A and B are shown apart, each in its own frame.
Chain A
Amino acid sequence: MNLNLKKESLRKVNETLQSIDRKSNKKIFKVSNPDGNHAICAGLKDEIEVTIDGHTGYYCAGMNMNANIIVNGNVGTGVAENMMSGTVHVKGNASQSAGATAHGGTLIIDGDTSSRCGISMKGIDIIVKGSVGHMSAFMAQSGNLVICGDAGDALGDSIYEANIFIKGKVKSLGADCEEKKMNKKDQNILRSLLKKASINESEIKNFKMYGSARKLYNFNIDNVSEY
């Protein structure tokens, strides 16, 4: 089914995609002429496949549950923000705050993202084939951020229990973020994520892992005078 944003309103298109007849066999949709509109495919909750042909604005595929969304273009701020499950695959670049606060699902970005990728992530897996901007994985709580390119300043600032895997250079680490030794379990996590994004598994050896030093979010009696 083809939904043309030049002919139908954004609200109508989103309503169609949000109220799928579960008995119907219509599972594959295409959205054309997105023209940078905001909140395209926000709030989907069914196992459908939607391809967006072009560039989108803010909060594309926000709050996604179950749906598999492909964007043949770039996305604006907050792609897949607060996603619960499903997959979002961006073929171009993403703006800031990609996958922000998302609880689950997989976000794959073929290009680069700008700042704050995976900010406050709560369980999502994000795979960026290019580089990420500054303050990525800021206060990331859970989930995995895989970066095949480089990271900007203050990577993983105030990070909790999320993992960051990175192949390229880190411009600087944020507070309480440190390099970790990758064990078998971590390698298996990375392997399955690379597979999801069709990246050669042999690349694993080129990645480094970063996580929390756990000095900032645990109360430490030595720091009592700071309060």
Chain B
Amino acid sequence: MCGIVGIYLKNKKYNSQLGKFLTGMMNSMATRGPDSAGFAIYSSEKKKKYKYSVCSNTDQVKEISKKLSKQVKDIKVKSISDHLIIETAMKPKKFIEILKNYDELSLVGYGSCIEIFKQVGNPKDVVKNFSLEKFSGSHAIGHTRMATESAITTDGSHPYSTGEDECLVHNGSLSNHNNLRRSLQKKGIEIKSMNDTEVAAGYISNGLSDKKSLKETLLDGLKDLDGFYTFISGTKNGMAIVRDEIACKPAVVAETKDYVAIASEFQAMAHLPNVNSAKIFEPEPGKVYSWGK
């Protein structure tokens, strides 16, 4: 099953409530995916700074921060539940190499405005553990998982991020991911898990690095990705949704002058302001819808 949600704020007056909106959406979708959850938050860009979202499996956060600050100048480490948000001016290529020396840390995403959190457990607990309600930002994407494809681990949870400020959540399953994983890895895209969605995320990263737009990449995906899916994909400029041609996996969009919300079911959006007067529609199969700057 799985539940997917996304919200893009057109009106900045709601930015401080982004986390609160997403919390309600994810809590409502807990029934569709009770075994793990995750979310990506996009907030304002910090010029010349990168944020690295890292999952840590150790209590020794202070020791690790110290060790890191010896290797990297001007570093800020914020700890939330079992995640660290590490802020530094160091470029991704260099910093990711350094991170690889830390067995107790695994990178879940990075970029100038994205922060990603994911964890095993009921979504209602996960959003509480990370205090999602307190987050602000311009857009956010979330996922509640009912595992079918790979193990119930943090590595198997969404959102997946395989490129700077990118993320992807998925309801469905892909059948040609093994083949695609091999061909993407040959092109140098790093895919860490055996999960099908991470391959789709890698596919999108590959398209974007070829200077294609998110919309073009998702349209190409209709030919190359075999299986069932509704995808919500985020970049620092906005988000997009696409459903495969068969469209078994549900999605509803509610658009007002202030925001665009996407969810697997309408009930996830029922708490949003003025939703009853929103333009509500189901994305058509094989069509890409995108919103953003």
Chain A residue nearest to B275 in the complex (CB): A55
A77 CA to B265 CA in the complex, in Å? 9
Chain A proximity mask over B242-270: 1 for CB below 8 Å, otherwise 0: 00000100101000000000000111111
Whether the Cβ atoms of A57 and B265 lie closer than 8 Å is yes
Cβ of A106 within 8 Å of any chain B Cβ, yes or no, is no
- A residues less than 8 Å from B247 (CB atoms): 96, 114-115, 133-134
A35 within 8 Å of B by Cβ?
Answer: yes
Pick the most buried of A54, A55, A92, A115: most chain B CB atoms within 10 A of its CB.
A55
Query: Could you mark each residue 54-73 of chain A with 1 if its beta carbon is under 8 Å from any beta carbon of chain B, else 0?
Result: 11111000000000000001
B220 to chain A, nearest CB (A): 21
Q: Is the CB of A93 within 8 A of B280?
A: yes
* Interface contact A115-B285, CB-CB below 8 Å: yes
Contacts of B265 in A (CB 8 A): 36, 57-58, 76
A77–B250 touching, CB < 8 Å: yes
Determine the chain A residues whose CB is within 8 A of the CB of B270 once the complex forms: 35-36, 55
- Evaluate contact between A55 and B281: CB separation under 8 angstroms: no
Q: Which of B268, B271, B282, B284 contacts A95 (CB 8 A)?
A: B282
Q: Is the CB of B266 within 8 A of A55?
A: yes
**For residue A212, which residues in chain B have a CB less than 8 angstroms away from its CB?**
none
**Residues in chain B near residue A93, CB distance under 8 A:** 280-282
Asked if B11 is an interface residue, CB under 8 A from chain A, the answer is no
**Chain B CB within 8 A of A37 CB:** yes
Is the C-beta of B150 less than 8 angstroms from some C-beta in chain A? no
Known: A77-B250, A114-B247, A115-B247. Is A36-B267 also a contact (CB below 8 A)? yes
Chain B: CB-nearest residue to A56: B266
Contact of A37 among B267, B282, B285 (CB under 8 A): B267
Q: Are A54 and B276 in contact (CB under 8 A)?
A: yes
The CA of A85 and the CA of B64, in the complex, are separated in Å by 68
A74 within 8 A of B: yes
A57 touches B280 (CB 8 A): no
Say whether B282 contacts A114, CB under 8 Å: yes
Closest approach, in angstroms, between the C-beta of A221 and any C-beta of chain B?
Answer: 34
Query: When A36-B269, A76-B265 are in contact, do A55 and B276 touch as well, CB less than 8 Å?
Result: yes
Residue positions of A touching B, CB distance < 8 A: 35-38, 54-58, 73-74, 76-77, 92-93, 95-96, 114-115, 133-134
20 new A-B contacts at CB < 8 Å, known A74-B280, A93-B281: A35-B267, A36-B265, A36-B268, A36-B270, A55-B266, A55-B270, A56-B266, A57-B265, A73-B276, A74-B266, A76-B252, A77-B250, A93-B280, A95-B250, A95-B282, A96-B250, A114-B247, A114-B284, A133-B284, A134-B247
Q: Chain B residues in contact with chain A, CB under 8 A?
A: 247, 250, 252, 265-271, 276, 280-282, 284-285
